[in-house]
Amino acid sequence: TRAGGLFTSRFSGTTEELADLHHSFLIRDGRMLPIRFHELLREGDTSQNIYLEPDDFLYLPSSLSSEVYVLGAVYQPRAVAFKDQVTLVSAIANARGTVENAWLGHVAIVRGSLTEPRIAIVDYDAIVKGRATDVRLEARDIVYVPLAPYRSLENYANLILNTFVRTIAANEGGRAANPNYQRPGVTIPISQ
């Protein structure tokens, strides 16, 4: 290809992938397209190969960063630095807690690739009241605190993923257009 493929880094005779293909995405007309970048670039699955169009937004995050993303009905939606034992309670506390009318019985934890996510619904209210065990998070988990209960798990998952990709697109687009870009208060800071 004319683009030259993915960048790799060589340290001590090893090659380390710099792009996290499982969390990469393409936005077209405000919607995330279900492209499996790992299958396309590592397994040669040409069914995942599409032409880019003007105004497409392609995001290839670094495989070296590890964060947990907290979105929805929290005071400061953000990326929380992932350390060995980040829990649901500590991640939400790092986002300055939940807003007053948050629906705490249906907090979602999204894990896995963006095209085939696994979603767990957790009763955060029971956790903070000591009736349930706190949940240990993994790097790149997305925590979503809703304002209302969901009616369909599929629609809930789509809402969460679209909120996630649009927030990242807004942050990265603002940064690309203006190096002095000041993020609005309700975005996720993306580490460099």
Rounded Cα distance between 6 and 62, Å, is 11
* Ranges of each domain in the chain: 8-59, 67-177
Give the pLDDT score at 123: 97
Give the pLDDT score at 124: 97
Whether domain 67-177 has CATH 3.10.560.10: yes
- Mean pLDDT over 109-115 rounds to 88
Give the pLDDT score at 15: 42
Give the pLDDT score at 12: 41
- Mean pLDDT over 119-133 rounds to 96
Q: State the pairing for strand pair 118-122/14-17.
A: unpaired
Give the pLDDT score at 63: 77
Neighbours of 144 (CB within 10 A): 25
Task: Note the pTM of the prediction, 2 decimals.
Answer: 0.73
Rounded Cα distance between 138 and 190, Å, is 17
Average model confidence (pLDDT) across the chain: 81
Closest CA to 74 of 173, 185, 184: 185
| pLDDT-derived band at 128, boundaries 50, 70, 90 | very high
Give the chain's end-to-end CA distance (angstroms, integer): 26
- Mean pLDDT over 182-188 rounds to 48
Rounded Cα distance between 96 and 53, Å, is 39
Instruction: Indicate whether 162 pLDDT > 80.
Output: yes
Between 53 and 190, residue with greater pLDDT: 53
- Among 12-16, 45-49, 153-157, 176-180, name the one with the lowest average pLDDT: 12-16
Check if the beta carbon of residue 144 is closer than 8 Å to that of residue 71.
Answer: yes
Please write the tens of the pLDDT for every residue from 70-104. 999 999 998 888 877 899 999 999 999 999 999 99
Between 9 and 118, residue with greater pLDDT: 118
Give the pLDDT score at 107: 96
- Mean pLDDT over 135-161 rounds to 90
- Among 45-54, 55-64, 103-112, name the one with the lowest average pLDDT: 55-64
Q: State the pairing for strand pair 67-72/31-33.
A: unpaired
